[in-house]
Amino acid sequence: MTTPHDTPLRGLLQTEPAVVTAGAELFAQELRDQAVPVREVEWRPPMDGTAEALATVLADPRLAEANARALELITSAEAELVRVAPASEVLDLKPGEFLHSGPPLTWDRASGPMRGALIGAMLFEGLAATPEEAEEKLAGPDITLAPCHSRGAVGPMAGVISPSMWLFELRDPVHGNVSHCSLNEGLGKVLRYGAYSEEVITRLEWMRDVLGPVLAEAVERHGPVDVKAYLPQMLQMGDEGHNRNRSATLMFLRDLLPHIVGQVGERSQDDVAEVCRFVGANDHFALNLVMPACKLAMAAAKDIPGSSVVVTMARNGTDFGIQLAGTGDAWFTAPADTPEGLFLGSFGPEDANPDIGDSAITETAGMGGFVMAAAPAIVRLVGGDVDFALTTTRTMYEITLGEHPSLQIPILEFRGAPIGIDAVAVARTGVLPQINTGMAGRVAGTGQVGAGLVNPPADVFVQALTALAEQVPASA
């Protein structure tokens, strides 16, 4: 039997009250206004529509082990550039077959920049003589569209890959996976932003005839290039791997430069010099290496029963889609939101297309918006301020499974990058992954109009958790 002296309420009226609040900040502020000390407990209600699925998934005895396994596989993946070759060779793309960014899409639902990129690819491949003819054929039965991710590839922005385009091929020697990505065209009026003018096609032809073959020969002479080794160095040098890739571009050029210059005599000096100039002047060139490296990390965690880890985040300019480790190749999609940020020249919010591109694979793998604290200068491109960059990275730890052992953030005392987006944590906290991104013009042919910040639509996580819950064994 307890006595009055044993109760936890003993002395309550003889001491100053300690007030703890949870939920709406209004409660705490009202008390502060009355000079009452308050300690706030950060708490958010679960995401709308997820309560039942959350309860089911959290009761799954496989969850903890499956997610621990996913994290181990993601962080142990390697990435080596092993060759550069045409898509017709490495992906067996046939004339009339095109890959694009994001989840599956049909021509009738394609946004302006996606339409522009597909029109440009048709012109580049010689399948149409005019944009009008290209549009007519793209609407017909003889053209096939498929997501880059369906072939283990990734493509920035519109992400269009056609048979004649040269691709980077990266391999993970630990888990045996392969990924591919196109070569980066630079900024402004480029195919990936939906431009298809004569200058765009001329540049693509030069990349096909000169850049691709020169890089292919250089990689063959060098041997495998350790792309994963670039990633931690980028974070030490102020890049975050999505919209800042300056250091990785220069590291890549440093590694291959002797093997590029060594081709003088076999190729014209002007061609070799132009390749060096083009790569060195294009700060985003290494984005197309970082993306497939991140794809390899996430591919290592695919198809783990019971895992709630997000292995794909991708956008096609119409839909935003995610895939989970525990739900196979299923896509969970919702309308893509439009980024908010800074605009080029006279462009404004009305000119921007909804979110587009496979480059959110960088955030999926703990780079990009997740490590903006390592690259505070990124806010000068995408908006926000340095405090926002620091706060964003700290917040991303709330929805991830762990910290990457080699991707370390100097300003956070070399804390490992937040890695392994957990759909359960997203639903429980309501915190959405942060993506920083370029913005394509809404109208086909416009090109880039700015850069900014965007989040996935919450509904993709509702759908994903519901599907994951349906796979929980009845005995759980």
CA atoms of 220 and 390, how far apart (whole Å): 41
- Given this model, what pLDDT does residue 270 score? 97
CB under 8 Å, gap of 24 or more: what pairs does 378-384 form? Answer: 378/240, 378/243, 378/244, 378/436, 381/243, 381/244, 381/341, 381/342, 381/436, 381/451, 382/243, 382/341, 382/342, 382/436, 382/437, 382/451, 382/452, 382/453, 383/340, 383/341, 383/342, 383/452, 383/453, 384/453
Domains of the chain, residue spans: 4-41, 51-74+301-470, 78-292
- The second-level CATH assignment, the architecture, of 51-74+301-470 is Alpha-Beta Complex (3.90)
How far apart are alpha carbons 412 and 405 in whole angstroms? 14
Q: Residue with structure tokens 């102020």? A: 238
Q: Checking DSSP bridges between strand 19-22 and strand 38-41, what pairing results, if any?
A: parallel
Residue closest to 160 by CA, chosen among 468, 440, 475, 469 = 440
261 phi and psi angles, rounded to 5 deg = -65, -30
- Give the per-residue pLDDT at 27: 67
Tell me the C-alpha distance between 151 and 154, whole Å.
9
Question: Could you give the 3-state DSSP secondary structure of residue 59?
Answer: coil
Q: What is the pLDDT of residue 383?
A: 85
Query: Under CATH, what is the fold of the domain 78-292?
Result: Enterococcus faecalis V583 fold (3.90.1710)
Q: Order the strands of the 153-154 sheet from edge to edge.
A: 153-154, 178-182, 166-171, 80-86, 225-226
Q: What is the pLDDT along the chain (476 residues), one digit of tens a residue?
A: 444 455 555 555 566 667 776 666 666 677 777 777 877 656 677 888 999 999 999 999 999 999 999 999 999 999 999 999 999 999 999 999 999 999 999 999 999 999 999 999 999 999 999 999 999 999 999 999 999 999 999 999 999 999 999 999 999 999 999 999 999 999 889 999 999 999 999 999 999 999 999 999 999 999 999 999 999 999 999 999 999 999 999 999 999 999 999 999 999 999 999 999 999 999 999 999 999 999 999 999 999 999 999 999 999 999 999 999 999 999 999 999 999 999 999 999 999 999 999 999 999 999 999 999 999 899 888 888 899 999 999 999 999 999 999 999 999 999 999 999 999 999 999 999 999 999 999 999 898 999 999 999 999 999 999 999 999 998 76
The three-state secondary structure class of 476 is coil
Q: How far apart are CA 181 and CA 358, in angstroms?
A: 10
User: DSSP readout, 345-389?
Assistant: TT--GGGBPSPEESTTHHHHTT-GGGGGGG-GGGHHHHSS-HHHH
Cβ–Cβ under 8 Å, residues 424 and 324? no
